[in-house]
């Protein structure tokens, strides 16, 4: 068995598989966040409160935070491709149930299935991407696969929301189910099988501290980001943005995130420690600038663009560092990252809401800046946690034959 031939960008024949993984990630992110833009319709349809409808999102994230690591450990010896295909199939069934749900309880059950699926999907996806390329290209591979995260935020959620507004929330879920079905076929046809973990799941147990540092830095980064991002629409509205401007502005922010990811991709391989310091530092600077700019709309938009451009490569940064810690198999490392990300999202929303209720939006932005800055400090004092590429645990990455 041989490693994939390498093109000038270092990804070579693995690029097609990584693109399919990116599309799968796009569908996964859209599935998780689709109800956000449709909560009023859903609550009206079933006669429940907006808060109850909001559980379709918060409970989903909570399940991911709790189940990611146990599911990754329980399935770590199973063949990777069938597990990945099963998770994509789980998204398909979840969205189909939501589209046809006769009651809120059935809709919630569909979302529960989606949460369980999501808990396993990202750990498998991260490990899959890492095993398609040599260790020295892990950062670039994960950056390409993770582009689906920004794609889901930039295109998936806004387009699904627009579709739901025009034709009803059920159609939005139905169309997403059809998209996931297409992704399932693409993955089945295109993705090569890859070797899963072999032997000891923790070949370098002394590096568990490095993995723990990366997981904490990732969780803190997401915590600080979602302190403010959860209320970004409120921020724009209170800065004077007309209602019709909020969607396009969020689209602009999403594009900035994609640009930031593209610019940082090579640095994740060549300068991982510098990236781990600079990226959260820029995020903190951007959120602090939002606090200073509020409520002047133009300045808020500029500051927000800087903040979210810096956030664009954050997922790839911490995914790559977790895999390179060599403290566990890529799938297990990815599960810890998935769990800490979703814990940060839920915790950030709660913290931001509490601060806003007491002190207002300006202090929400200052709180976000202070929290995100902790990630930069962690990276600054824990250089060994953000190391250049080393062999993937369980063997060198390659396609199985």
Spell 217-252 as b/e; 16+ CB within 10 A means b: bbbbbbbbbbbbbbbbbebbbebebeeeebeebbeb
| Candidate from 26-35, 225-234, 365-374 with smallest mean pLDDT | 225-234
| Percent of the chain predicted with pLDDT > 70 | 90
Residue 271 three-state SS: coil
Owner of token pair 């099963």: 86
pLDDT(1) > 50: no
pLDDT in tens, 259-301: 998 898 878 878 999 999 999 999 999 999 999 999 999 999 9
pLDDT in tens, 202-221: 555 557 889 999 999 999 99
CA distance 396 to 391: 6
pLDDT in tens, 82-106: 999 999 999 999 999 999 999 999 9
Q: How many CB atoms lie within 10 A of CB 112?
A: 16
- Overall fold of domain 203-390: Growth Hormone; Chain: A; (1.20.1250)
* End-to-end alpha carbon distance in the chain: 7
CA distance 273 to 42: 44
CATH among 3.40.50.2300, 1.20.1250.20, 3.30.2230.10, 3.40.190.10 for 10-196: 1.20.1250.20
In this chain, the answer to whether the domains covering 10-196 and 203-390 adopt an identical fold is yes
User: Which pair of tokens denotes residue 354?
Assistant: 């509490």
pLDDT for residue 3:
42
CA pseudo-torsion sign 216, 218, 220, 222:
negative
Q: What are the C-alpha distances in Å from 141 to residues 1, 301, 342?
A: 20, 31, 22
**Domain boundaries in the chain?**
10-196, 203-390
pTM score: 0.82
pLDDT in tens, 291-333: 999 999 999 999 999 999 999 899 889 988 888 886 677 888 8
| Candidate from 59-73, 231-245, 302-316, 333-347 with smallest mean pLDDT | 231-245
């Amino acid at each position: 068995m041989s490693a994939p031939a390498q093109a000038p960008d270092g990804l070579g024949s693995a690029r097609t598989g990584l693109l399919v993984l990116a599309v799968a990630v796009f569908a996964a992110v859209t599935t998780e966040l689709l109800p956000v833009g449709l909560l009023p319709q859903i609550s009206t349809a079933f006669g429940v409160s907006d808060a109850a409808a909001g559980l379709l999102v918060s409970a989903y994230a909570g399940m991911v935070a709790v189940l990611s690591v146990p599911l990754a450990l329980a399935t770590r010896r199973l063949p990777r491709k069938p597990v990945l295909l099963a998770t994509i199939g789980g998204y398909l069934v979840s969205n189909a149930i939501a589209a046809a749900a006769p009651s809120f309880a059935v809709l919630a059950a569909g979302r529960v299935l989606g949460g369980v699926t999501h808990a396993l999907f990202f750990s498998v996806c991260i490990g899959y991407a890492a095993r398609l390329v040599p260790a020295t290209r892990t950062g670039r591979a994960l950056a390409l696969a993770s582009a689906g995260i920004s794609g889901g935020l930039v295109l998936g959620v806004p387009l699904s929301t627009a579709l739901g507004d025009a034709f009803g929330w059920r159609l939005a879920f139905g169309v997403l189910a059809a998209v996931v079905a297409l992704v399932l076929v693409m993955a089945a046809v295109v993705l090569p099988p890859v070797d899963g973990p072999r032997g000891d799941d923790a070949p370098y147990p002394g590096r568990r501290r490095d993995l723990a540092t990366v997981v904490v830095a990732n969780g803190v980064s997401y915590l600080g980001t979602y302190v403010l991002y959860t209320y970004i629409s409120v921020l724009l509205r209170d800065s004077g943005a007309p209602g019709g401007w909020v969607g396009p502005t969020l689209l602009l922010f999403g594009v900035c995130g994609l640009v930031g990811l593209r610019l940082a991709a090579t640095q994740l391989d060549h300068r991982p420690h510098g990236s781990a310091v600079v990226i959260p530092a820029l995020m903190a600077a951007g959120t602090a600038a939002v606090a200073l700019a509020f409520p002047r709309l133009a300045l808020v938009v500029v500051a927000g663009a800087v903040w979210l451009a810096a956030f664009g490569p954050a997922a790839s940064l911490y995914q790559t560092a977790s895999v390179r810690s060599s403290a566990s198999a890529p799938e297990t490392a990815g599960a810890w990252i998935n769990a800490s990300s979703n814990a940060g999202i839920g915790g950030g929303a709660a913290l931001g809401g509490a601060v806003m209720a007491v002190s207002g939006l300006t202090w929400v932005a200052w709180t976000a800046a202070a929290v995100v800055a902790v990630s930069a400090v962690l990276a600054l004092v824990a250089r060994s946690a953000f190391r250049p590429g080393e062999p993937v645990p369980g063997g060198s990455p390659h396609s199985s034959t």
